[in-house]
């Protein structure tokens, strides 16, 4: 049988046997963000195209080459979001959140879309965890979002990341720096790659970020932006470093960091690694004080960052960092006939209502095949129901790890099963025989 179609190039399926890892990572990041006061926000996956043209920048590679843009049935130009910040800023303005107590702190997990050459760590559909902090212009806010990112990496045991920071100054000084770069690169234009030749006229700062060895060597001799920032921006950057020192966060000042999106001002930073090949930036962010006003809101300072979740997963795998295993199914109720299976369905509903994962036969398997299936998927306990068990009103619960059995009432089945499983866990703990993970059962007891 020929498959009708395969997944679109640059996308990937996350199958049930691994999706729990994604869920754990995403939920953990949101919970750590909440410890810092960042609350979850969800914005649409597509926006009006002009939002990204204005925020990301019309001269950036993202806008010029990578956006998925199309006209909807009403003739309006819409774009699948290439990053998460613009939508969060739009929501902040549209809902008048600038009238609420500041700072307003958002966190999100979102899919993003960019038409790039697919490779390891770079997909056309990818996912970001991001945070945005609005209304905090103090250098301490810059350091705090960096500390949040560091807390996430520390939680997962990722200890081989390097934090690189820079200041690209205010918009006024950025323009002067752009002119200095143009003058420098003009004399070396013929040696630049074709992409950077185009960047020279549009956005010469992007040449500093080129991965071509030739362009990188040329960029090494370019003027440094720290020589062009104003006194206020320099003071801000120095205070950011003092706050990072107060947080005991190690960092390196890298004058070449400019970030690829036009909205950045002052602080920019990246967490980089050598463990996953060419796509070394796992987290990037900084300050964007002019973006809210640029998109039609009041003048509100802001800063934030985003973590590429696919790259983060690659990093965990490269470092052989184990994540908690998938929660097992606690109970499988096997049946010997149709009448027993109807009773199994009733009991399964009772157990599930208490928050305990439970399965029964929905395929029509033989008893032997049901038990084989339960063993294969790693069920913790099984019960076999037949005519005798239903008439007696009791059934034996079997622990699949050690084969021990205990008879419980069918009348109070859910309650008795939970009590039995907790007692089993306590007994195993007392004897040092902790071969059963009953965390989900324990969590199901109200």
Residue with tokens 């039995």: 420
> Is residue 176 one of the residues assigned to a domain?
no
Tokens standing for residue 93 = 């303005």
140 φ/ψ angles, rounded to the nearest 5 degrees: -65, -30
Degrees (nearest 5) of the Cα angle 420, 426, 431? 125
pLDDT score of 1: 74
Using a 10 angstrom Cβ sphere, with 0-12 exposed, 13-18 middle and 19 or more buried, the burial of residue 162 is middle
Pair (311, 346) in one structural domain: no
% of the chain surpassing 90 pLDDT = 66
Pair (336, 291) in one structural domain: no
Residue with tokens 């020929």: 2
Report which of 251, 241, 244, 243 is spatially closest to residue 163, judged by C-alpha positions.
251
Pair (246, 391) in one structural domain: no
Residue 411 CB contacts under 8 Å (≥ 6 apart), including other chains? 393
> Is residue 203 one of the residues assigned to a domain?
no
Residues 210-251 have pLDDT tens digits of 778 888 888 888 888 888 899 999 999 999 999 999 999 999
Q: Are 348 and 340 within 8 A, CB to CB?
A: no
In what helix (H) or strand (E) does residue 242 lie, and over which residues does it extend?
helix 231-246
> Is residue 29 one of the residues assigned to a domain?
yes
Tell me what the pLDDT averaged over the chain comes to: 89
- Report residue 61's pLDDT band, with 50, 70 and 90 as the boundaries: low
> How many angstroms separate the CA atoms of 358 and 65, rounded?
49
Q: pLDDT at residue 434 above 60?
A: no
Q: Output the 3-class SS for 1-26.
A: CCCCCCCCCCCCCCCHHHHHHHHHHH
pLDDT score of 105: 98
Domain range for 102: 16-170+229-318
Q: Are β-strands 281-287 and 381-385 bridged in parallel, bridged antiparallel, or unpaired?
A: unpaired
pLDDT score of 427: 63
> Is residue 199 one of the residues assigned to a domain?
no
Mean pLDDT, residues 337-351: 97
284 φ/ψ angles, rounded to the nearest 5 degrees: -145, 150
Peptide bond into 103 cis (omega under 30): yes
Q: pLDDT at residue 431 above 80?
A: no
Pair (275, 416) in one structural domain: no
> How many angstroms separate the CA atoms of 380 and 205, rounded?
58
Mean pLDDT, residues 15-20: 90
Q: Provide the domain count of the chain.
A: 2
pLDDT score of 197: 86
pLDDT score of 59: 60
Pair (116, 243) in one structural domain: yes
Q: Are β-strands 162-167 and 252-253 bridged in parallel, bridged antiparallel, or unpaired?
A: parallel
Q: Are 206 and 60 within 8 A, CB to CB?
A: yes
Q: pLDDT at residue 444 above 50?
A: no
Q: pLDDT at residue 436 above 90?
A: no
Please say whether the dihedral angle defined by the alpha carbons of residues 248, 253, 259 and 265, taken in this order, is positive or negative: positive
Residues 157-212 have pLDDT tens digits of 998 899 999 999 887 777 788 888 888 888 888 888 888 888 887 778 878 877 78
> Is residue 184 one of the residues assigned to a domain?
no
Using a 10 angstrom Cβ sphere, with 0-12 exposed, 13-18 middle and 19 or more buried, the burial of residue 140 is middle
Q: Which of 25-29, 347-351, 430-434 has the lowest mean pLDDT?
A: 430-434
Residue 95 CB contacts under 8 Å (≥ 6 apart), including other chains? none
Residue 323 to residues 16, 109, 157, 307, Cα–Cα distance (Å): 15, 19, 10, 18
pTM over 0.75: yes
> How many angstroms separate the CA atoms of 433 and 331, rounded?
20
Residues 100-113 have pLDDT tens digits of 999 999 999 999 99
Mean pLDDT, residues 2-23: 91
Residues 356-382 have pLDDT tens digits of 999 999 999 999 999 999 999 999 999
Q: pLDDT at residue 439 above 70?
A: no
Q: How far is CA 354 from the centre of its chain?
A: 30
Report which of 89, 6, 75 is spatially closest to residue 290, judged by C-alpha positions.
89
> Is residue 216 one of the residues assigned to a domain?
no
Residues 396-418 have pLDDT tens digits of 999 999 999 999 999 999 999 99
Given 289, 318, 347, which residue is the final one in a domain? 318
pLDDT score of 276: 67
pLDDT score of 42: 98
The more confident residue out of 118 and 441 is 118
pLDDT score of 103: 98
Q: pLDDT at residue 440 above 50?
A: no
pLDDT score of 277: 62
Pair (250, 367) in one structural domain: no
> How many angstroms separate the CA atoms of 185 and 175, rounded?
15
Q: pLDDT at residue 319 above 90?
A: no
417 φ/ψ angles, rounded to the nearest 5 degrees: -65, -45
The more confident residue out of 434 and 395 is 395
Q: Are 425 and 441 within 8 A, CB to CB?
A: yes
Using a 10 angstrom Cβ sphere, with 0-12 exposed, 13-18 middle and 19 or more buried, the burial of residue 363 is exposed
Residues 243-260 have pLDDT tens digits of 999 999 999 999 888 776
Q: pLDDT at residue 443 above 60?
A: no
Q: pLDDT at residue 136 above 50?
A: yes
> Is residue 326 one of the residues assigned to a domain?
no
Pair (96, 63) in one structural domain: yes
pLDDT score of 332: 98
- What is 49-101 written as a DSSP string? HHHHHHHT-TTSHIIIII--EEE-TTS-EEEE-SSSHHHHHHHHHHTTGGGSS
pLDDT score of 445: 41
Pair (335, 311) in one structural domain: no
Q: Which CATH number do you get for residue 80? A: 3.30.930.10
Tokens standing for residue 343 = 């009773």
> Is residue 109 one of the residues assigned to a domain?
yes
Pair (251, 295) in one structural domain: yes
Q: Which CATH number do you get for residue 344? A: 3.40.50.800
% of the chain surpassing 70 pLDDT = 92
Residues 256-275 have pLDDT tens digits of 887 767 788 999 999 998 76
């Amino acid at each position: 049988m020929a498959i009708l179609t395969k997944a679109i190039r640059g996308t990937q399926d996350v199958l049930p046997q691994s999706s729990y890892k994604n869920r754990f990572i995403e939920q953990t990041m949101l919970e750590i963000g909440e410890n810092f006061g960042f609350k979850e926000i969800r914005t649409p996956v597509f926006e009006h195209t002009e939002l990204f043209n204005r925020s990301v920048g019309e001269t950036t590679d993202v806008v010029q080459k990578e956006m998925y843009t199309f006209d909807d049935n009403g003739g309006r130009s819409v774009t699948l979001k290439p990053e998460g910040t613009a939508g969060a800023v739009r929501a902040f303005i549209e809902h008048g959140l600038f009238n609420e107590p500041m700072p307003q702190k958002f966190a999100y997990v979102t899919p993003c879309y960019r038409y790039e050459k697919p490779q390891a760590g770079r997909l056309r559909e990818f996912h970001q965890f991001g945070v945005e902090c609005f209304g905090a212009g103090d250098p301490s806010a810059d350091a705090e979002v960096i500390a949040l990112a560091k807390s996430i990496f520390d939680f997962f045991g990722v200890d081989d990341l390097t934090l690189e920071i820079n200041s690209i100054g205010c918009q006024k000084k950025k323009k002067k720096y752009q002119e200095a770069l143009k003058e420098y690169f003009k004399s070396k234009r013929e040696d630049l790659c074709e992409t950077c030749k185009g960047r020279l006229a549009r956005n010469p700062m992007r040449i500093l970020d080129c991965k071509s060895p030739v362009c990188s060597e040329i960029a090494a001799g370019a003027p440094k932006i720290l020589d062009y920032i104003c006194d206020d921006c320099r003071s801000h950057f120095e205070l950011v470093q003092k706050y990072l020192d107060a947080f005991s966060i190690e960092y390196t000042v890298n004058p070449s960091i400019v970030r690829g999106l036009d909205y950045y001002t002052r602080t920019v930073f990246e967490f980089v690694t050598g463990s996953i090949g060419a796509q070394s930036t796992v987290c990037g962010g900084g300050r964007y004080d002019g973006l809210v006003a640029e998109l039609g809101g009041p003048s509100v300072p802001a800063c934030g960052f985003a973590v590429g979740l696919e790259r983060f997963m690659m990093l965990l795998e490269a470092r052989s960092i184990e994540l908690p295993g998938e929660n097992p199914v606690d109970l499988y109720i096997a049946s010997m006939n149709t009448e027993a299976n109807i009773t199994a369905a009733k009991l399964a509903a009772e157990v599930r209502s208490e928050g305990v994962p439970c399965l029964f036969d929905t395929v029509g398997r033989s008893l032997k095949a049901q038990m084989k299936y339960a063993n294969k998927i790693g069920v913790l306990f099984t019960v076999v129901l037949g005519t005798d068990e239903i008439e007696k009103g009791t059934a034996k619960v079997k622990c699949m790890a050690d084969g021990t059995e205990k008879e419980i009432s069918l009348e109070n089945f859910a309650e008795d099963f939970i009590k039995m499983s907790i007692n089993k866990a306590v007994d195993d703990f007392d004897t040092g025989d902790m071969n059963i993970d009953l965390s989900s059962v324990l969590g199901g007891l109200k």
